[in-house]
């Protein structure tokens, strides 16, 4: 297809504005690694939270939502909505602790919580495992989604007259080469501006991406072939519009309400959200979410940023995607299941006028670039701070490490493009990450609240899934694999924990004096530190967690009911959400920020 001059003008303006932000923050990011990776710990909650949301809004997200809706209706989104429970746990139990830790990366946590060579090994291992290996897989599937978008929009695209090229045995399509150019632009502004530039650009990109998808949803629902929400509901079966899955003895079906076996339901709702590591939904917080929490101005901003992230991520953002997905089911009924996600892009291509098409393409670019910029900055922080600086060159000045960070950013970008060239299916990468990390989640949670967890607990919990996965994968399908992997991993790490020596008491005392998490599982250490006023009030935090989950779920359902024409039910749900929100507000207004929980 051909874009108009207006479309291209909008896209060019978007790129110029994004690069201008990078140039503006160049001098500030060049001061030191704290500014480059953590904004000098001065990020306000509304920017920190928004940049978390922007990062999770990748180019693959609307396509994935469309696939879920096509297969199992709106209820199919519970495959990721279940992660709300873990995210809300992070808000109330961990956000303050991460900010209180005063470290640069969540991987650095290993050497303030544990002691000796095992702690050093864990820090280096996690830096490479997460910052490089897992990171390039994550960026690979985000790149792959952008390739799919370009393939739908520009099926005859060539690169200097070529459909693709082979470089060192790796095949790059014309669309992937274009993605590579876009990624290079992202790498340049991420390496120039550090986290300040990435965060401000993310906020701009999130507003642009949300505005674009809302405009698309409004236009799509009201085209003559659809006839508004009423027409949409007439053209699709009733099961498509149900918000909750049916749980029974049948296998997941295609062409009916999202039904799953009882074991699959337990795996998603009762296990996955606390047991598996997943980018943006790590149990106890971690990755770029922890980076934003540690970048916040103080503990209050850290908690509020994470709360805003969870509300926006689950309650506000999904509905424009879902509505366009529903429209695509009507407009393109003959798409096979493997290509249902592309229906979202086809609606853009076929029904947007000049100008708005350019805006939506820029919005998709914004979604893609916000994710990639964060992944590059976050992954680089691991490689430079927790691997290179920790184990190879400890004595360089800050400007030297900033230069190394910029070089590392470019190298990670190149590796991710190579991985993308070998990928075919995004869903395979999702399942692999959830299975390969099953069982580590409970260790990531307990390490804050139980003194006996040691470095070997984490190391064994990370390795155990990789040992059993090849043996059960041929016989058990995801998500039922989680039961076997989590059970095995739990036995392994608990056994290893009690067979190995605990963390040195000196390290435990230092950690407790810094974090003062409180709780009965720290009693052997807290009894030796009567001068430390430990956190209390965990019952109230549990109430806040429950209230937070109610707030998000009823807001999500309330907005959905209103959009689908059921205003009475929708406003009732929003009232319940508002009551839950008041409970949280009442407690947070009485909290002694920067001290301890009373």
Q: What does residue 102 show for φ and ψ, rounded to 5 degrees? A: 65, 30
Q: Are 92 and 545 in contact (CB under 8 A)?
A: yes
Q: Residue 162: which of 177, 149, 180 has the closest Cα?
A: 177
Q: What is the mean pLDDT of residues 125-139?
A: 86
Instruction: Give the pLDDT confidence score for residue 23 in this predicted structure.
Output: 78
Instruction: Give the pLDDT confidence score for residue 76 in this predicted structure.
Output: 84
Q: What is the pTM of this model?
A: 0.84
pLDDT one-digit tens code per residue, 160-188 = 666 667 666 666 788 888 888 888 887 77
Q: Residue 146: which of 431, 433, 426 has the closest Cα?
A: 426
Greatest mean pLDDT among 424-428, 471-475, 543-547: 543-547
Please name the residue that has the structure tokens 């990928």. 423
Question: Does 141 score more than 90 pLDDT?
Answer: no
pLDDT one-digit tens code per residue, 385-428 = 899 988 888 887 878 888 888 889 888 988 888 888 876 655 55
Give, to the nearest 10 degrees, the angle between helix 5-24 and helix 356-381: 30
Give, to the nearest 10 degrees, the angle between helix 342-351 and helix 60-72: 110
Instruction: Give the pLDDT confidence score for residue 169 in this predicted structure.
Output: 64
Greatest mean pLDDT among 93-107, 149-163, 425-439, 580-594: 93-107
Segment among 80-94, 143-157, 577-591 with least mean pLDDT: 143-157
Question: Does 129 score more than 50 pLDDT?
Answer: yes
Q: Are 340 and 71 in contact (CB under 8 A)?
A: yes
Using pLDDT thresholds of 50, 70 and 90, give the confidence band for residue 294: confident
Dist CA 575 CA 84 (whole Å): 20
Q: Are 340 and 82 in contact (CB under 8 A)?
A: no
Give the C-alpha distances (Å, rounded to integers) separating 394 from 30, 35, 116, 391. 19, 18, 18, 7
Strands (E), 230-385: 246-248, 259-261
Instruction: Give the pLDDT confidence score for residue 161 in this predicted structure.
Output: 66
Examine residue 483 and say whether the peptide bond preceding it is cis (omega within 30 degrees of 0): no
- Positive or negative, the CA dihedral 80, 85, 86, 92 is positive
Examine residue 479 and say whether the peptide bond preceding it is cis (omega within 30 degrees of 0): yes
- Positive or negative, the CA dihedral 511, 515, 516, 517 is negative
What size, in residues, is the chain?
A: 598
Question: Does 485 score more than 50 pLDDT?
Answer: yes
Q: Residue 445: which of 458, 432, 430 has the closest Cα?
A: 458
C-alpha Rg value of the chain to the nearest Å: 24
Per cent of the chain over pLDDT 70 is 87
Contacts of 534 (CB under 8 A, 6+ apart): 512, 516, 517, 518, 519, 522, 526, 596
Segment among 98-107, 116-125, 321-330, 564-573 with least mean pLDDT: 98-107
Q: Are 380 and 366 in contact (CB under 8 A)?
A: no
Using pLDDT thresholds of 50, 70 and 90, give the confidence band for residue 521: very high
Q: Which residues are registered as beta bridge partners of 259?
A: 246
Question: Does 354 score more than 70 pLDDT?
Answer: yes
Question: Does 587 score more than 90 pLDDT?
Answer: no
């Amino acid at each position: 297809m051909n874009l108009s001059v207006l479309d291209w003008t909008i896209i060019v303006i978007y790129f110029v504005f994004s690069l201008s932000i990078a140039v503006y923050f160049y001098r500030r990011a060049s001061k030191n690694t704290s500014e480059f990776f953590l904004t000098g710990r001065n990020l306000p909650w509304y920017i920190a939270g928004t940049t978390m949301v922007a990062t999770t809004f990748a180019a693959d997200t609307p396509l994935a939502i469309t696939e879920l809706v096509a297969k199992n209706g709106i209820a199919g989104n519970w495959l990721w909505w279940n992660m709300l429970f873990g995210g809300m746990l992070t808000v109330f139990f961990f956000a303050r602790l991460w900010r209180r830790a005063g470290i640069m990366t969540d991987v650095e946590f290993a050497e303030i919580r544990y002691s000796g060579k095992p702690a050093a090994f864990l820090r280096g291992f996690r830096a490479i495992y997460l910052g490089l290996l897992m990171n390039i897989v994550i960026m690979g599937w985000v790149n792959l989604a952008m390739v799919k978008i370009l393939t739908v929009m520009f099926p005859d695209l060539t690169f200097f007259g070529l459909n693709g090229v082979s470089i060192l045995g790796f095949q790059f399509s014309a669309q992937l080469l274009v993605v590579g150019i876009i990624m290079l632009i992202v790498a340049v502004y991420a390496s120039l501006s550090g986290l300040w530039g990435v965060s401000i650009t993310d906020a701009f990109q999130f507003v642009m991406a949300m505005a674009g998808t809302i405009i698309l949803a409004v236009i799509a629902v009201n085209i003559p072939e659809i006839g508004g929400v009423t027409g949409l509901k007439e053209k699709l079966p009733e099961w498509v519009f149900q918000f909750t899955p049916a749980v029974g003895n049948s296998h997941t079906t295609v062409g009916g309400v999202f039904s799953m076996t009882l074991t699959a339901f337990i795996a998603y709702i009762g296990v996955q959200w606390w047991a598996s590591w997943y980018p943006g939904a790590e149990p106890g917080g971690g990755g770029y979410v922890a980076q934003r929490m540690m970048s916040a101005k103080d503990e209050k901003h850290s908690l509020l940023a994470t709360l805003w992230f969870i509300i926006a991520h689950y309650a506000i953002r999904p509905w424009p995607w879902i509505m366009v997905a529903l429209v695509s089911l009507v407009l393109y009924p003959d798409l096979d299941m493997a290509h249902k996600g592309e229906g979202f892009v086809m609606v853009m291509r076929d029904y947007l006028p000049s100008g708005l098409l350019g805006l939506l393409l820029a919005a998709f670019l914004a979604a893609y670039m916000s994710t990639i910029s964060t992944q590059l900055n976050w992954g680089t922080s691991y490689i430079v701070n927790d691997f290179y600086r920790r184990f190879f060159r400890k004595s360089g000045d800050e400007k030297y490490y900033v230069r190394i960070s910029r070089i590392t950013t470019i190298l990670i970008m190149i590796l991710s493009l190579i991985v993308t060239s070998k990928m075919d299916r995004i869903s395979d990468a999702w399942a692999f990450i959830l299975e390969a990390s099953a069982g580590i989640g409970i260790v990531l949670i307990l390490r804050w609240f139980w003194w006996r967890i040691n470095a070997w607990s984490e190391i064994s919990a990370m390795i155990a899934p990789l040992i059993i996965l090849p043996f059960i994968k041929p016989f058990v399908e995801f998500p039922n694999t989680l039961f076997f992997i989590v059970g095995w991993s739990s036995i392994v790490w608990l056994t290893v924990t009690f067979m190995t020596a605990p963390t040195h008491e000196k390290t435990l005392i230092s950690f407790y004096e810094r974090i003062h998490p409180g709780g009965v599982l720290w009693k052997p250490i807290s009894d030796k530190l009567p001068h430390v006023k430990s956190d209390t009030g965990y019952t109230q935090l549990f109430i806040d967690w429950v209230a937070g989950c109610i707030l998000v779920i009823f807001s999500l359902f309330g907005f959905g009911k209103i959009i689908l024409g059921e205003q009475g039910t929708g406003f009732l749900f929003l009232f319940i959400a508002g009551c839950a929100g008041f409970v949280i507000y009442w407690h947070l207004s009485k909290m002694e920020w920067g001290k301890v929980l009373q």
